[in-house]
Each structure stands twice: as C-alpha cells, then as structure tokens.
Amino acid sequence: MNSSIRTYYVRCIGVALLVIVAPVVFAQDPNPPSIKSGQGAWPIRRQWTPGETQHFAQWMEHIYIAKTKGDTEQRIAKLDKILTDPKINLLLDPSFAGAGSNPQLSRGTISFLHNITDCAKFSMTLPAYYAYRRALPWMVSYVTSTQGDVRTAPANVPVGQLNSFTSGSADAFFRDMVTGISSGNYRVEPNSTRSEWSDTCPVSIDKQFLIPGTMNYTDGHCLLLAQVDKYGELHFINASINRTRDIFTFNGMNTVAGIEPMTTEDPNPLKGCFQGLRVFRYPICETNGSGVVTKVRRRTDAEMEEFGASIEQYQKITQVTTEHVIVEDGLRLQSMHEFIRYRMKSVDKIVPLEFLHEYVKELAEMYQQRDTFVQDAWKNVKTGGLIAFPEENKDDNIFQSVGRWEDWSSPSSDVDRRNKYFYLADWMDNAVRWYESAPQLVDLKGFEKYNIKSKEDFAEAIVEEKRIAFKSHFIEYVNTPGQKVKLSLADIEERIYDMSFDPNHAPEIRWGARPGTPEFVTAKVNPTPSSKGGTVPFELAYEKQAYYRTVCQRETEKSYLRNMFTAGYPVRVKFDQQLDKWLYGRYPERLAQATMTAGAKPAATPAANTAPAAAQPAASATR
C-alpha cells in the first residue's frame, strides 16, 4: 500500500490559504501486467478491464481536483503542465503508474499535443496518454461525413482506424491521432454503418459506469467527465477551441444538452442519437497461448456492455419527450437533468442552500475567466484588424468556424455560461418540486429564518437567498481606456442577453453595456465585417445578433447577419421568473409578467418576413 500527500495553496480574496488534501492512497494495482507485445507504438502489457477504468477515473478526478483546488499555477495549467506536473499527473508517481508502465512522453510530443489541442483533441489525448503510460492498447477512428463537414454533418461513418499496435512509434501515433481527429469523430449513430468501429458508445446512467473518464458530446463540443459530486452533479474538464489553449473546469451538467429522442420514422430508431454521455470503446488485445499480443481491435457492442454501454439515455429522453415525466422510485422526474442527478447522487438528502452558495462561487469564477479571453480578443482585433462574421457560409457558422473568428469570438462559451446560470434555476426549481412531492429528500438547513411551511414559502426563500448571493459576488473587467469595471452577478444576470460574442466589439459591449449608458461611453465602436463582403455598422450588427445572444445550445445551421430577424423568437425567463410559477396562487399578477418575459407575445418582425427560411426563429425546449 502506497500513499502520497497532496498539498495545495488556494488563493481567496488575496489571502493564501493552505489546504491539506487527504492522502491519495494507491491500493494494489487493480490490473497488473498480464500480456505482452513486441511491436507497435508502445509495449502493451495490460487489457482494459472495469477495474482499469476505475483507475483511469481516479487519475481523471485528481486532475480535476488539482485544477479546481490547487495553487495558482495548477489552476491555470494547460495541457503541457497537466502532463508534466507530478502534483497534477498521478502517472508520474511510479506506484500509480504501476509495474511495466511506459516512460513519460517526450517533451517534443507533449509540446505538439499542447500546441494543437482543442476540445475534441483534448478529449482523446487524455485517455490515449493514460493508455500509453499504463501500457494499454488505444485506437482512434477516421470518419467520413454523410453530408458536408464532418463537424456538423447529420451523421458520420467510420472508414478507418489508427491503431497503437500497428503504429511505428508513440510520437507518430499521437501526432497522427490529434491531426486526424475532430468533434466529427463522435457523430456516429449507434446501429449504423460500421458503428462498432466508433470511438465511443452511449453509456448507462449508473454510478458504476458513468464515472470520470467517460465523456459528453454535444453538437461540436466535447468534454471529459472529471468528477461526480454527492448531489449527482456531473463536472467536466475540457479545452478551449481558441489559440489560448486554456483548459476549463467550470462546465457541469449545464452542458448535457441536445440528447435526441429515438424515432419511429427511420429503420434505425437511433438515427441522430450521437449526442450525450458516452464511454470510450476500449480496444481489446487478442493473444496467443503465451500471452503475446497478435492483434488489437475494437470491442463489439456486446463486449462493451461490461463497461456500461447502453442506449438507456435515449430511451429516457424519449420518455420525457412523449410522457413528460420519468418515474423513478415513485418520484416524478420531469427532465433528463433531474433524472441524471437523481440516479447519480450519493446522499439521501439534498441541501439546496449549500448547493446554491457553492454554485454561485463557480458561476462568478466562470464569468471572471471570460474577461481574460475578452481582453486577448480585443488585443488581437487592435493589432490584426477586424474579424469577419461567417455569414451564411455552407460549412461553418458562428459556433463552429475556422480562423480568427473561431479563435476570438465567444458564442459557444457564452452558451455554456448561460446554461450554467439557467441550470441553477432548474436545480432550485426541482428542489421545490421535490419538497412538494418527497420532502424527505430535502434538507432545509440554512433556511430556518424563513419559517418554511409550504412550497410557496420555500420558493420565495430560495429567490431571496439567490438575490443576496448574486449581489455579494463580483467580477471585474477592463474597459477600453484600461480602467477596471466592477460587476456583481446580479448585474450580469440583468444583462445576460446583452453580452456580445462578437470579437469586433469593445470590452464594454462584450460585457453587455447598453448604448446610451455611462458604461458604454468609453467603448470604441467598430463595424462587423462579413465573410460575404463589406461591413455591417455596429448598431445594425448588434441588433441583428440579438437572437444569438439568447440561445442556450450551439447551432449547426448557417448563421445570418444582414438577413437575420430581430424579434419574435422565444427567450427563456430568468431565475426569479422561473421560480415565480410556484407563487402564482399567491401572486397571480406575476403570471402575466413571466409570460411577457418568455416572449409569448412576439412583435411584428419585418426582417423575419424577408429572411431565408433557415433564418426563421424556431422554438427550442432549451431556451
């Protein structure tokens, strides 16, 4: 039995706090060497087993802990630091790497991986690196699209495979892997052409299988699950898609969106069902009588069942879509998020106020990190010139593009931030419903002063505590003249639909300062160039981009600018209005206010009437 003690310095409001993390205990190797190989990119000495995936999960979770609770250097660590810092990478400890492990990758290979990483490459690099160090096999698919760009195609088909057993060296394998992979690798439908060559399988919503090291794919975005907390919340780690190569840890269950229901209108009922929570399709070695590896291949769907492969999530989302409820242990769960959280929680009761306070801290940190990116984008515009909006392009849009727009715009990360804000409202909304239907699951610790006796009392108390928390947490951004501007989370909530994703806009505008306000006065006003040619004046571009500032999921269709509608689309109500539904009996006048906020009364929209059909507003369950 070996152990190592991890010590972290956490900086809070300028004060260094020493946090002693409990010893990380490494039990006996859960999967000792049992096979051998004499060819390929690296020696193979182990098969993937359920015990090995638990070891992988421990490694992934430790990275997450270091990134969220470590010292400043660890919290801002990028891929090269993650792989080379012994305080972050447990595989640098021989007792964790185990007997027969392979040596550290070369500095040159690690630098290459760092310099090219994005969310898709990062999601494959970490498990592949783990496989290399632990002397396990690894494979990656090559895919072709059924239509258009593989990153946005309706579906992709595997056409070939990169195999560590047949590659010439570790360096060659990793370079080929990250050069050839994109988010399109995960757009393979189950039960489709060569789907058993795919990199991942949908995974069961089960604590035994949905563990750190599994992943989440949502249109164009890939994240690795890194921690499951006691409330069943999923916490992910992922890489940015811009040149800063940042590694983020603020994404949680808010990113689990877009899971498609099954269909009865196609021979394959799982058509389009590639988004969601997935487990890697771990390769398996075939050996001779002496334990020598003779072949490495993909596991079949049947062989993946012991690792949790299951279409359950698609069955459950179909149930939510058709029946509007999932009944679990007698509790009526009304969303996929609520179902996942209930299945994955490890405590008997939830403590809403405790969750609120922790979540608000994460939300403030998530928004504070946004300013670093905004400042870097503004510097790039000032030195490199204005950046073209991908207007009505066939194969890319504002969420999935190439070049400087991909590097310096923020529509995708702003979607993540809006979803994180709205997920808090959903969580608290569910807590009120649980209090009503199963009060034994809810701990009212911290709410004693409110004398709660009904669901209405509870909803009002939650809204009040949220208002207090939002007013007491702040972020700072730097405006055009270089002055610091302080915003509370309450300010951010108010302007959540005003914050611009357009890199041509000054920091004040990126942070939602409205024209005509004192905050806006210092902003430098730029037009937005278009990939179709010419520029669109600031006032018109900002107006035309309004819809994209409200969406809560990435889109794969063309993005419109000049021909974009400016009204008539649904806008999700904010936290207070969402919980107001519990108070309609007490305050009936709030119903009309919430309905208006939701955009149920669309205004006349001349622009929408002349826009192409693809630009028309579409209702979305996530907005």
Mean pLDDT (whole number) for 243-266? 89
Give the least confident one: 10-24, 305-319, 436-450: 10-24
d(CA 51, CA 57) in angstroms, rounded, equals 10
Asked whether the predicted pLDDT for residue 402 surpasses 70, the reply is yes
Q: Is the pLDDT of residue 494 over 80?
A: yes
Task: Kindly list the distances between the CA atom of residue 404 and the CA atoms of 298, 384, 548, in Å, as whole numbers in the listed order.
Answer: 37, 10, 19
Q: What pLDDT does residue 52 have?
A: 98
What is the reported pLDDT for 242? 67
Higher pLDDT, 152 or 474: 474
| pLDDT confidence of residue 588 | 64
How sure is the predictor about 620, in pLDDT bands with cuts at 50, 70 and 90? very low
pLDDT tens digit string along 125-149? 999 999 999 999 999 999 999 998 9
Indicate whether 605 pLDDT > 60: no
pTM: 0.80
The whole-angstrom separation of Cα 280 and Cα 288 is 25
Average confidence (pLDDT) over 239-245: 78
- Of the pLDDT bands very low, low, confident and very high (cuts 50, 70, 90), residue 85 is very high
Q: Which residue has the higher pLDDT, 351 or 605?
A: 351
Domain extents in the chain = 2-301+311-344, 352-615
- Residue 70 tokens read as 């470590």
Tell me the backbone φ, ψ of residue 194, rounded to 5 degrees. Answer: 50, 30
Give one DSSP letter per residue of 196-253, joined into a string.
GGSSEEEB-S-TTTS-BTBEEEETTEEEEEEEE-TT--EEEEEE-SSTT--EE----G
Of 2 and 353, the one with more pLDDT: 353
The angle at the Cα of 410, spanning 405 to 411, to the nearest 5 degrees, equals: 100
In 3D space, the residue among 532, 507, 538, 531 whose CA is nearest the CA of residue 381 turns out to be 507
Closest CA to 342 of 277, 427, 261, 279: 427
Instruction: Determine contact, residues 536/562, Cβ cutoff 8 Å.
Output: yes
Please give the helix or strand (H or E) that residue 200 lies within, else none. strand 200-202
Q: Is 121 helix (H, G, I), strand (E, B) or coil?
A: helix
Signed CA dihedral, 516, 497, 225, 185: sign only? negative
DSSP conformation letters of 389-419: B-BT-SS--SSS--HHHHHH--HHHHHHHHH
